[in-house]
Amino acid sequence: MPLGCKGRYEMNGNRYILDTNAIVALLQGNAQLLQLLQLLQKADWIGISIISRIEFLVFAGLTESDRQLFGNFSNV
């Protein structure tokens, strides 16, 4: 429980946080991760950490099209 908080905390539903490698593989169309996309479409919440955002945006060889795709994907 976070400091200074009172009460009971529960995790309900399907919640996912994606790491940088999963994001890159999804955006590249990796077949195995595209199957995961079916699960993600049913998710109650999907998160991307600020670290993953930074890592993705400094990824070598990133094109402007890649940046736009990531922006659309992450709702930046």
Type of residue at 61: G
CA distances from 47 to 2, 21, 38, 42, 60 (A): 19, 14, 16, 14, 23
Predicted confidence (pLDDT) per residue in 11-25, tens digit: 567 888 888 888 878
Q: Are 56 and 20 in contact (CB under 8 A)?
A: yes
Predicted confidence (pLDDT) per residue in 28-69, tens digit: 788 877 777 777 788 888 888 899 888 888 877 778 888 888
How many other C-beta atoms can be found within 10 angstroms of the C-beta atom of residue 26? Answer: 16
Residue 3 banded pLDDT, cuts 50, 70, 90? very low
For the whole prediction, is pTM greater than 0.75?
no
- What is the token pair recorded at 4? 């200074």
Spatial separation of the C-alpha atoms in residues 7 and 46, rounded to whole Å: 25
